Amino acid sequence: MTAFTDALEVEPAHVEAAYDRGRLLLRIGEPLNAIADLTTAVLGNPAHCRAYARRGEAKLVLKDLEGARADFDRAVEWRRATTKSL
C-alpha cells in the first residue's frame, strides 16, 4: 500500500497506482476510499474495465445498487470494446 501511496504523491493521476491502491482499500474494508482511488483510475483511463468493476464492488458494499450496476455495465461495455479491437 505504501508504494502506491508514494507513487500517487509524486503523480496524483497515476492510473495503475490508483487502481491498485483502490483494490487494496476495498479488500481491507474501506470502500469509500477505494471509490475515490478507482474514480481516479477511470478518469485517467476511461477504458479501464477492471477499475469500473472494482468500483462497482465497492458501491455494492455501500448498498449503492444503481451505482454498482452502472459501473458493472461500463466494465462490460469497455471489455467488449477492447476485446473486439484485439
Domain ranges of the chain: 2-84
2-84 belongs to CATH 3.40.640.10 = no
**What pLDDT shows up at residue 58?**
98
HSE-CB at 26 with a 13 A cutoff on CA atoms is 24
**What pLDDT shows up at residue 37?**
97
Mean pLDDT of the chain: 92
pLDDT exceeds 70 at position 86: no
pLDDT exceeds 90 at position 75: yes
User: Can you give the pTM of this predicted structure?
Assistant: 0.88
Instruction: Produce one character per residue of 63-79: b if its CB has 16 or more CB atoms within 10 Å, e if not.
Output: ebeebbeebbebbeebe
Pick from 58, 60, 59, 38: which is nearest to 49 by CA?
38
pLDDT exceeds 80 at position 83: no
CB 62 within 8 A of CB 32: yes
The rounded distance, in Å, linking the Cα atoms of 85 and 60 is: 30
